[in-house]
Amino acid sequence: MTDLSIFTTAVHAGERVPRGEFTPVATPIYPSVGYLYDDMETLDAVFAGTRQGPVYARYGNPTNAALEAAVAALEGGEAALSYGSGMAAIHGALLAAGVRAGTAVVAARDVYGATYALLSKLLASQGVTVHFVDATDLDAVEAALAAARPVALLVETISNPLLKVADLPRLAELAHVAGASLIVDNTFATPYLCRPLAHGADYVVHSATKYLAGHGDVLGGVVVTSAGRRAALNEINKLVGGNLGPQEAWLILRGIKTLPLRVERQCASALQVARWLAGHPRVSRVNYPGLPEHPQHELASRLLERGGFGAMISFELKNGNRAAVFRFMEALKLILPATTLGDVYSLVLYPAMSSHRGLDPEERRRIGIGDGLVRLSIGIEDPAEIIADLEQALISHSP
Ligand SMILES: Cc1ncc(COP(=O)(O)O)c(C=O)c1O
């Protein structure tokens, strides 16, 4: 499937694994926990891994295997493992990269709030040393890697919520020179815009809850990597059991079929919305990699494929604070104030209250997440109607 375009791959990858006399066109949902084989020798071989097949749901499942094959094909990776959430996937990748007591991790400072808290609170409490850096400052990254000698460098291709773009080829070089694995959260970019493995990443993680599934009705995560590392991820997961259920795997696999169509349209609409916001008198700043004034616009143009820059935008309300943001969000009629992103619906979120609530206000300010920052996820609706909704809400938010 790797030679086909992403539109074709998204529709067919992972499907139609022959099983017996007929082959279902769409992979069925396998709710079975256990699996039978003709004889004990075969079952033993499946347990040993010398023969492929399901044996127990925590070890793998045919519906999940179809999803994993699809995401691996889209990301250009050898293999993938699905998880019950994006956070479980990130945790799995960190553990597989060797994170444990006495080791260090270097991470981008403006990662998703729960990722930041996983590193700075949970893993730190377990004896992991965590260093946050501005991942757009390659000298700072190099210095942090040299000082910490970490087992992993973790970045987001396009960061949540400040929309900074990571120079993946250079970061991969720096990580590897320092002996670290590069883990890339590709949730915002999706494989439509970027395939981090081709740029040297060792693990690509997704919150499949977002663009991969795309419809706001399922929680899931995926790690894409080499076949060898996938085996290591699965050995860890057999112990911790962060599995994605087969119903959810099926929904994500179904969502993936329209991923390129959705993201193509969402990117085009987001560019229109970002340009419009940038000219609005009640907006003091717009973070969107597709705008020429974005600090990594040139890098984004090189790194991101198909002329797109993503469908996430963040912006500062002029003289914005919590009350002004609340007024603005309550005034929106079409754009939904729901705590998620990447869906067919346009969504708005207040990072200080939700995605980055786990950080104390001082930490948030240091990262650059101010009290007037709003995050938008552009859906597949008519962009003119998205803009009209923003316009009426911006007018009514003003004091
Ligand atoms: C960039 C990014 N990575 C990871 C996650 C975590 O994903 P999940 O909510 O599926 O656990 C999120 C959630 O918003 C996210 O935005």
| pLDDT tens, per residue, the chain with 399 residues | 458 999 999 999 999 987 778 899 999 999 999 999 999 999 999 988 899 899 999 999 999 999 999 999 999 999 999 999 999 999 999 999 999 999 999 999 989 999 999 999 999 999 999 999 999 999 999 999 999 999 999 999 999 999 999 999 999 999 999 999 999 999 999 999 999 999 999 999 999 999 999 999 999 999 999 999 999 999 999 999 999 999 999 999 999 999 999 999 999 999 999 999 999 999 999 999 999 999 999 999 999 999 999 999 999 999 999 999 999 999 999 999 999 999 999 999 999 888 778 778 888 888 889 999 999 999 999 999 999 999 999 997 555
Residue 319 φ then ψ, to 5°: 50, 35
Count CB-CB contacts under 10 A for residue 26. 12
Distance in Å, CA 312 to ligand 1 centroid = 14
Is 171:139 a contact under the CB 8 Å cutoff?
Answer: no
Is 42:18 a contact under the CB 8 Å cutoff?
Answer: no
219 lines ligand 1 (CB under 6 A): yes
| DSSP string of 177-240, one letter each residue | HTT-EEEEE-TTTHHHH--GGGGT-SEEEEETTTTTT-SS----EEEEE-HHHHHHHHHHHHHH
For residue 220, the ligand 1 atom closest to its alpha carbon is 10
| pLDDT at residue number 18 | 79
Count CB-CB contacts under 10 A for residue 98. 14
Nearest CA to ligand 1 atom 2: 112
For residue 160, the ligand 1 atom closest to its alpha carbon is 1
Q: Strand order of the sheet with strand 129-133? A: 79-83, 221-225, 203-207, 181-185, 152-156, 104-108, 129-133
Q: How many alpha carbons lie under 13 Å from residue 340 in its C-beta half-sphere?
A: 21
Residue 320 DSSP class: -
160 lines ligand 1 (CB under 6 A): yes
Q: How far apart are CA 127 and CA 151, in angstroms?
A: 14
Nearest CA to ligand 1 atom 15: 112
377 lines ligand 1 (CB under 6 A): no
Active site residue ranges: 58, 112, 185, 210
Distance in Å, CA 24 to ligand 1 centroid = 32
343 lines ligand 1 (CB under 6 A): no
Distance in Å, CA 279 to ligand 1 centroid = 30
User: How far, rounded to the nearest angstrom, does the alpha carbon of residue 105 sit from its chain's CA centroid?
Assistant: 19
For residue 341, the ligand 1 atom closest to its alpha carbon is 14
Is 369:162 a contact under the CB 8 Å cutoff?
Answer: yes
Nearest CA to ligand 1 atom 12: 207
Q: How many alpha carbons lie under 13 Å from residue 355 in its C-beta half-sphere?
A: 26
Q: Which residues pair with 152 in a beta bridge?
A: 105, 181
| pLDDT at residue number 295 | 96
Nearest CA to ligand 1 atom 14: 340
